[in-house]
Amino acid sequence: MYRKGEVSYQPVPLPDRVQLPDAEALSEAERFLARMRKRHSVRQYSTRPVPEAVIAACIAAAGTAPSGANHQPWHFAAISDPAMKARIREAAEAEEAEFYAGGAGDEWLAALEPIGTGVSKPHLTDAPWLIVVFAQRWGTTEDGARYKNYYVPESTGIATGMLITAIHHTGLVCLEHTPNPMKFLPEMCGRPASEKAVMILPVGYPAEDATVPAVAKRKKPLDQIMSVFR
């Protein structure tokens, strides 16, 4: 992305202004809230295909996220190949088997019980797309010099949140799947040693009989997630 010595501060006029009058801003915020309340993490997927262009547009939206020093320390691997999805599922389920066999600990397993999760991960092969999110721990200039990235978890987390929002905005669903340590994914996806896989997002349309855990509908009220100091 960068060449040594070529980057310097050059201010330009704000290129886009999207500000609204207060009343219209509130209306837009409430409309957005209503739409986001319809977002659900889904484990049962339809076989209905999703055009690659839709996935690409969602990832492009994620790529507009802010990041530490604008280094954009992320990469998104979009996978529709059935054989590759099958290999990912097999490897992920092997890790999950260890997790549920005691690696997680009793407290964590008890916390997951109302969610209804288990070793079997059919969503990894049923969903038409998997998007693997990679965090780039360091970058490399075009001439091969290595440089440090900053606020990598925070930056990648923001971009992933924007990706999930874009997916929902298109009428698709996804699931935030985080097998650990996922060491098999960088090699499988042809990514360099500088990148760590942090999440797999199965993406597609929900199955006709899709369900969500009842507990997932419980959200903290505003007064528990917001403090105001006037």
Question: Which tens digits make up the pLDDT trace of 112-150?
Answer: 999 999 999 999 999 999 999 999 999 988 888 899 999
Confidence of residue 184 (pLDDT cuts 50, 70, 90): confident
Can you read off the two tokens belonging to residue 141? 């200039």
By percentage, how much of the chain surpasses pLDDT 70?
A: 97
Q: Please give the pLDDT value at position 40.
A: 97
Just give the CATH number of 41-216. 3.40.109.10
Predicted structure pTM score = 0.94
Mean pLDDT calculated for residue range 91-95: 90
User: For the chain, what are the domain ranges?
Assistant: 41-216
